[in-house]
Structures are given as C-alpha cells and as structure tokens.
Structure 1
Amino acid sequence: MSMTTQYADVEPSREQVDAINGPVVLEFGAPWCSICMGTQDAIGAAMNDHPAVRHIKIEDGRGRPLGRSFRVKLWPTLVFMRDGAEVGRLVRPGSAGQIREALAQLQSPPGAV
C-alpha cells in the first residue's frame, strides 16, 4: 500500500484502529495546515519504500476523539502501530529519512535489534 493522499471521510474509532493487524501509520493533521502540507513529499517518499505498511490520514482538531485518545498536540503527528499497539511516533517529522527509519523499525520483527 502506498501513501494515502486524502483524509479519511469518516474518522475510525479507537477500537477500530486498535483492531488493525499488521503495520499501520496514522497521520494526524488538517488539510489547511501548512506544516502538514509541507511534509507530504517526505511522507510520500518514505511510504513508497514500505508498500506493506498501511497509511491512514486522519483530520484532527477540536471534537475529534481519535486524536485526543492518542494525545496528539501538534500536526502532523505520525503514530506507528503494529497489531494495534503503538510502537513509535514522530511529531512534525523533518525528513523522509527520519520517517523511513521509523518505518523500518515498524516492519522489524518484535524484539529485533
């Protein structure tokens, strides 16, 4: 799977997100956020190198419970999950390399060094 370019029409519940099997990246942000827009090329480049990782873009903001459940405070925030458990997070990632490194760790078997 490659990068998702559109925000989800319907925000999934925390229970739905926690039930996802395999590696997934949740990207919290907003379509009008200039910092979010500025990181899209880096996120896309990194995601293209990891086609087995599911990418879900979630519009965040006031009254959005999923972002609150993950304690998202700044955008974009990338939450890296494996089998329903958070294994890492990047807040306002600075480069595709930083995102690739987190994706590589996400795809490593649990307990691998």
Structure 2
Amino acid sequence: MIWSNCAGCAGFVSYPADKNNAQSDPSGNLSYLHDPFHAIRLGIYDTRREITPENQISPPTRPSVCFPSPVWSFPALSSPSAVYLVLRFIRTRFFGNNTGSTMSHGKVIEVDNPVIFKALTSNGPVVVDFFATWCGPCKAVAPVVGKLSETYTNVRFIQVDVDKVRSVAQELEVRAMPTFVLYKDGQLQEKRVVGGNMKELEAAIKEITA
C-alpha cells in the first residue's frame, strides 16, 4: 500500500496514491480538512472531494499589513565607491540618455542600495515606502502612493524592497509592510505610518512640507 502525504496540509491528511482505491483508505472515507484542489494536484480524484456547502473552506480575511519572516540575516555589503553609485543612480534615474533633462520628484523611485538610500534621504522632504513584492496590502495602496507623488512634487518618494535592502529595513526597525517612514532635511521623523491608511500618510506629508 502506497500513501501520499500532502505537505501543505501539515500532515493532517493522507491519501492513497492509487486513484479512487477506497479499500486502501482504512477510515472508509476521506477527510475534508484540506483544499480539494490540493488533492487534484496530487493526481487523485474522488467525487467526495468536490466542494459542497458542508466542506467548503472560507477564504481568509485579507490583512492590512504584511509581516516578514522572523529570521532576517544581515547580507554582506560590498564596498564600492559611494560617489560612483550616486552618480550612476542620478545619471540613469534622473537624466537618462539626455543629460539636459531632469525627472520630476513626483514619481516613486525604487532604491536597491543602502548608500543611495542615505544619499537620497539626506536633504529635502522624503517619503520612504517599505514594501515587499509578496505583500498584498502594498500592491493595493501602490496606486494611491503614486497619485500622492504626483500631487506633492516637492517631496521625494522612495520605494525600498525589504527583501533586497534588508540592512536599511533592520536599521529603521521595519517590522510590517507597508511602512512609510519620513525624512526632513536628512532628519528621520518620529512619525511613521504602518499599514494602508493613506489619509494618515497625506497628513504626515503635509507636516514635513509645512
């Protein structure tokens, strides 16, 4: 007798590997403590696994924030010239191929280097959006953040992927996403917004631009 365990079900359910072999199921029936589509991916099909009002599992409520893995390692940081990194960033992000034009600060800039992060937060009003690509709430508020960046063109909006620039996220004690941190003339502001409260974020932006 061959059994197949579903890793996603944390060992709560086991299924016979041969299709629809009811005799190989010692309990005489199949438990519904699983996602029925999960069983179909194992190549096993049984009409008793179909979704019915009795066994349907309600989807989880969408959270307003995301939490990273509790174990974050400090990545080894390289030590290239800070001047070179900043100049390369300015040339590619602000000027492109035409050195006579500039990019408006009314657009969100993704930063993937701690040296560039410190350079861009050293002056003026700055809003830093700490996000993760797997974070649903981050994706939900992204369009609103984009509109705010177009409205407050005198504010520099920065995005930081916590999985790419973990050293910065750890230094600023970012523990949930999205988290919005604000700077004014290089000074980290005490006020920060955790979650998708865009009205609270806009109020904080008005404070650093007053």
Q: Smaller-chain TM-score range?
A: 0.7 to 0.9
Q: Is the 8 A contact 1:13 1:66 kept in 2?
A: no
**How many pairs are equivalent?**
105
Query: The residue matched to 2:110 in structure 1 has which SS?
Result: coil
Counting only pairs closer than 5 Å after superposition, residues 24-63 of structure 1 correspond to structure 2 as 24-61=126-163
Choose from 182, 204, 210 the match for 1:80: 182
Q: Is it true that 1:23 corresponds to 2:125 in the alignment?
A: yes
Q: Is it true that 1:106 corresponds to 2:208 in the alignment?
A: yes
TM-score calculated relative to the size of structure 1: 0.79
Query: The residue matched to 1:57 in structure 2 has which SS?
Result: strand
| Higher RCO (Cα < 8 Å, 6 or more apart) | 1
In 1, Cα distance between the equivalents of 2:117 and 2:200? 28
Unaligned runs of 5+ in 1: 109-113
Where does structure 1 differ by over 3 angstroms across 4 or more consecutive aligned residues? Answer: none
Query: Residues 28 and 17 from structure 1, CA distance in 2 versus in 1: closer, same or farther, beyond 3 angstroms?
Result: farther
The structure number with the bigger radius of gyration is 2
Letter in 2 for 1:86: L
CA positional deviation for 1:26: 1.0
CA positional deviation for 1:15: 7.8
Higher strand share: 1
TM-score calculated relative to the size of structure 2: 0.45
Query: Residues 75 and 2 from structure 1, CA distance in 2 versus in 1: closer, same or farther, beyond 3 angstroms?
Result: same
In 2, Cα distance between the equivalents of 1:80 and 1:37? 20
Percent identical among aligned pairs is 24
Query: The residue matched to 2:129 in structure 1 has which SS?
Result: strand
In 2, Cα distance between the equivalents of 1:15 and 1:3? 16
Q: Is the 8 A contact 2:121 2:183 kept in 1?
A: no
Q: Is the 8 A contact 1:46 1:99 kept in 2?
A: no
Residue of structure 1 in register with 2:107 after alignment = 3
